[in-house]
Amino acid sequence: MMHEKIDAAPVTGLSRYLWLLLPAAVLAAAIVWLLQANPLQGFNNGAPPVENLTIERTILDHDGLRLLVRAGGSDPMMVAQVQVDAAYWEFSQEPQGPIARGDTAWISLPFPWVLGETHNVTFVTNTGATFDHEIAVAVPTPVATSGSLWSQGILGAFVGILPVAIGLMCYPALRGAGQRTITFLLALTVGLLAFLLVDTVVEALEFASASAPIFQGSVMVVLTAAASFLILMAVGRRRGTPTGLALATFIALGIGLHNFGEGLAIGAAFAAGSAGLGTFLVLGFTLHNITEGIGIAAPILKVKPSLLSFVGLALLAGGPAVIGIWTGSLAYAPQWTAIALAIGAGAIAQVIVEVCGLMSRSNGQGIKALLAPASFGGLAAGVAFMYTTAMLVKI
């Protein structure tokens, strides 16, 4: 944490606020002059306005297609005509009229889409510019029915809760472990968290790049991750550096936030028609995430938490996957997935810092503990295990 001292001028409260009037007045004058005198007219070279349209959500149902579009042009944009598969279709827009910069509108078309096939939607603006959107595989957008929530919940449990629970079940076996083993396990946790951190940041940036430019995706991801990291650090250290159950809880929270983002992405894949989720893949996810449970168990090997704590930790780390799949399947805009993943990345960075802190303090060796063979071995094992098991689910 950095602390800076700023030399504040000894001004009284009132005059300080009066001084604020000067920059405000200059800004107001500049705006008025720009609008009134139009001094930038010389730049008007007859070029058309820059237009940008991002398609954020695609809903397919028995009425046809509904698409949420966000305008990002230099001027308000007008969707003049809409093609589906190179044919003009009647459409209605809600709200009607030009779409202001940053605003969204729903475009609805009574289009008879074909199950399992690809459709291409093209928006033609009044200047004749076109914006394409591919519906890769047309499937009805999931609606929240009890049946679909149940099956998605089962999937979430398999990829989120079950592996964490299985990992935590190693706890009794690890209880009697010596210092070297504990160091190894903590380093293993750092390794798997490092893998997840890289993975999450990359995913977040990819979703960010699919979102409307107005959100400045990559900056948004970095800032969100940094904020998430700092807030969790501050909260975690209110009562000193977290150890034991507190640290395990933070690890579970970080993994849980990460799993929420993953759940969103899986749900989005459902909404986009990537339906063929095989048993093998689900088992792959389960195996891939088992280390998460071991990681959560590592800091509490020297304390005796209640059984309820274990249930709580498993739900905290794995449960968000279920919520993420539920939310993601409703085809939410990519920037939300990016933000969720970025929050997860910040949380993971926080627990990496705290687990490393714990390792360096644990046997009084300080930073040297991180360089011991057990630590190196654990780190390498964690990363290697995550990487290898990720191959199972890589298509």
Partner 1 sequence: MLKWAQTALSRRSLLGGGVAALGATSICTSTTVAQQTHSGDHGAAASAVKSGDVAPAHRSAHGSMITVGAVDNARNGFDPTSMLTDWYTGELSDLPDGRKLRSFEITVEEKEIEIAPGVMFPAWTYNGRVPGPALRAAEGERLSIKLINNGSHPHSLHFHGIHAARMDGVPGAGVIGPGEEFVYEITAKPFGCHLYHCHALPLARHIHKGMYGLFVIDPDPARHPDHLEVAASRLLGFPENARWQELAMVMNAFDTNFDGENEFYACNTVAHCYAKEPIKIDKGRPVRIYLMNIVEFDPINSFHLHANFFDYYDQGTTLTPTLKTVDLITQCQAQRGILEFTFEEHEPGLYMFHAHQSEFTELGWMGMFDVQETVS
Least separation in angstroms between CB 272 and partner 1: 4
Comparing CB distances to partner 1, the nearer of 379 and 386 is 386
Segment contacting partner 1 (CB under 8 A): 2-10, 74-82, 227-235, 297-305?
74-82
Positions of E strands within 152-263: none
Segment contacting partner 1 (CB under 8 A): 26-34, 81-89, 294-302, 303-311?
81-89
Segment contacting partner 1 (CB under 8 A): 35-43, 179-187, 270-278, 298-306?
270-278
Return the residues of window 92-111 that contact partner 1 according to CB under 8 A.
92-93, 96-98, 109-110
Neighbours of 71 (CB within 10 A): 24
Among candidate residues 225, 49, 59, the one with its CA nearest the CA of residue 217: 225
- The strand pairing partners of 71, in sequence order, are 53
Q: Is 11 left (phi over 0), alpha (psi -120 to 50) or beta?
A: beta
Residues 6+ away with beta carbon under 8 Å from 115: 138, 139, 140
Return the residues of window 316-375 that contact partner 1 according to CB under 8 A.
331, 333-334, 337
Segment contacting partner 1 (CB under 8 A): 229-237, 257-265, 307-315, 356-364?
257-265
Distance between CA 111 and CA 318 in Å, rounded?
39
Interface with partner 1 (CB under 8 A), residue from 31, 132, 154, 216: 132
265 is an interface residue for partner 1 by CB under 8 A: yes
In the 8-state DSSP scheme, what is residue 49? P
Comparing CB distances to partner 1, the nearer of 55 and 298 is 55
Residues in contact with partner 1, counted by CB under 8 A, come to a total of 84
Comparing CB distances to partner 1, the nearer of 82 and 232 is 82
Sign for the CA dihedral angle at 255, 260, 266, 268 comes to negative
80 neighbors 125 (Cβ within 8 angstroms) = yes
Distance between CA 364 and CA 362 in Å, rounded?
6
71 neighbors 35 (Cβ within 8 angstroms) = no
Q: Provide φ and ψ at 68, rounded to 5°.
A: -95, 120
Interface with partner 1 (CB under 8 A), residue from 34, 48, 116, 144: 48
224 is an interface residue for partner 1 by CB under 8 A: no
Least separation in angstroms between CB 147 and partner 1: 22
Interface with partner 1 (CB under 8 A), residue from 34, 80, 143, 219: 80
Least separation in angstroms between CB 95 and partner 1: 10
Return the residues of window 25-44 that contact partner 1 according to CB under 8 A.
none
Interface with partner 1 (CB under 8 A), residue from 49, 102, 140, 373: 49
Residues 6+ away with beta carbon under 8 Å from 79: 53, 69, 91, 93, 99, 105, 107, 123, 124, 125
Interface with partner 1 (CB under 8 A), residue from 50, 100, 223, 235: 50
Tokens in use for 30?
């500049």
Length in residues, the chain: 395
Least separation in angstroms between CB 155 and partner 1: 11
